[in-house]
């Protein structure tokens, strides 16, 4: 995943773009144009799925089916959605923290919308336009077949975002800019987004960088707690808060040693500067006493 050569005139641009991935809206062409103009690496789904599978300790094929909305009802019942959500979020935040990247799909627009320098983009188009694009692209001769495939794809991806993050990807409040590619040509879509990337509003600052890093540290910490303690961290009502790289651990437990172990664990999480525990140690009271 190597970005194209950067234009020296744009060396001060450190863009991070999150984009929804809707079928047959020419979004892939917009992404390619942005990558070319801004020197961005486009994150392909194979890389994300592989890294999420490694982090979550799950088969890559299972991660793929879930993210693509292809899991069976039984798989959706048995899959640990909270773990999938956590590791998907961490992977997206890790990629965004590297900078000069365009991330399509996987809830990136939702996860990164609060980071001031990230541009969240939605490329949309009416169904008739999308049908024509798909027919041109795949040679699907009957429009009803094209519509069925588009509707299936939309429903699958929206369902995945609902299960992972509880969001509707059509919600315009998730985006900095929404472009209708049936009315705005690809080249103009690219130009509009490039202007945003080069504007003062979306330049990375120390403050915006810290917002991103705090989110990333939060998910790193939660993943570390999950790996170390598993369900016990939830059973003991542990929660992690991050501000400026500093972690505040809260909750309550009957296991005093677990508090010590959790603090030591979190002190070793990448990016953490200090850890403060306000976990309450409570005495165990047997039932009936």
CATH of residue 167's domain is 3.40.50.300
CATH of the domain at 243: 3.30.1340.30
Res 11: pLDDT = 44
Whether residue 107 lies inside any domain: the answer is yes
The Cα 111–Cα 243 span in angstroms is 17
Res 282: pLDDT = 86
Domain shared by 68 and 142, yes or no: yes
CA distances from 144 to 23, 125, 141 (A): 15, 17, 9
Helix, strand, coil fractions of the chain, as percent rounded to 5: 55, 15, 30
Pairing of strands 118-124, 177-180: parallel
Question: What's the structural domain count of the chain?
Answer: 2
The Cα 198–Cα 13 span in angstroms is 6
Res 157: pLDDT = 84
Question: For the segment 199-239, what is each residue's pLDDT rounded down to a tens digit?
Answer: 999 999 999 999 999 999 999 999 999 889 887 776 677 89
Q: Whose CA is closest to 102, among 211, 19, 199, 201?
A: 19
Residue 77 DSSP one-character state: H
Question: For the segment 47-61, what is each residue's pLDDT rounded down to a tens digit?
Answer: 788 888 888 778 888
154-158 contacts, C-beta under 8 A, 24 or more apart: 154/22, 154/23, 155/69, 156/68, 156/69, 156/70, 157/21, 157/22, 157/68, 157/69, 157/105
Whether residue 5 lies inside any domain: the answer is no
Domain boundary residue among 162, 180, 204?
A: 204
Neighbours of 13 (CB within 10 A): 20
Whether residue 215 lies inside any domain: the answer is yes
Whether residue 249 lies inside any domain: the answer is yes
Whether residue 30 lies inside any domain: the answer is yes
Whether residue 286 lies inside any domain: the answer is no
Domain shared by 268 and 181, yes or no: no
Domain residue limits at 222: 207-281
Q: What is the pTM of this model?
A: 0.85
Domain boundary residue among 181, 204, 227?
A: 204
Domain shared by 174 and 238, yes or no: no
């Amino acid at each position: 995943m190597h970005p194209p050569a950067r234009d020296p005139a744009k060396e001060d641009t450190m863009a991070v773009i999150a984009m929804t991935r809707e079928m047959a809206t020419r979004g892939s062409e917009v992404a390619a144009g942005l990558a070319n103009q801004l020197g961005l690496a486009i994150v392909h789904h194979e890389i994300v799925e592989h890294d999420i599978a490694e982090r979550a300790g799950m088969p890559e094929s299972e991660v793929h089916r879930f993210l693509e909305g292809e899991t069976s009802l039984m798989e959706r019942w048995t899959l640990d959605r909270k773990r999938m959500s956590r590791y998907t979020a961490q992977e997206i935040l890790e990629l965004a923290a590297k900078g000069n990247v365009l991330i399509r799909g996987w809830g990136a627009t939702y996860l990164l919308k609060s980071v001031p320098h990230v541009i969240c983009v939605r490329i949309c188009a009416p169904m008739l336009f999308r049908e024509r694009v798909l027919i041109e692209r795949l040679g699907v001769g009957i429009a009803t077949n094209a519509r069925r495939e588009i509707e299936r794809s939309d429903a699958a991806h929206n369902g995945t975002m609902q299960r992972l993050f509880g969001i509707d990807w059509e919600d315009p409040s998730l985006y900095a800019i929404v472009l209708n590619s049936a009315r705005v040509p690809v080249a103009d879509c690219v130009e509009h987004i490039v202007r945003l990337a080069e504007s003062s509003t979306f330049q990375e600052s120390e403050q915006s960088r810290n917002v991103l890093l705090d989110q990333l540290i939060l998910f790193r910490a939660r993943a570390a707690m999950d790996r170390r303690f598993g369900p016990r961290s939830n059973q003991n009502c542990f929660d992690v808060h991050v501000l400026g790289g500093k972690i505040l651990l809260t909750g309550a437990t009957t296991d005093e040693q677990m508090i010590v172990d959790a603090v030591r664990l979190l002190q070793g999480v990448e990016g953490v500067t200090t850890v403060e525990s306000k976990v309450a140690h409570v005495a165990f009271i047997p039932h009936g006493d």
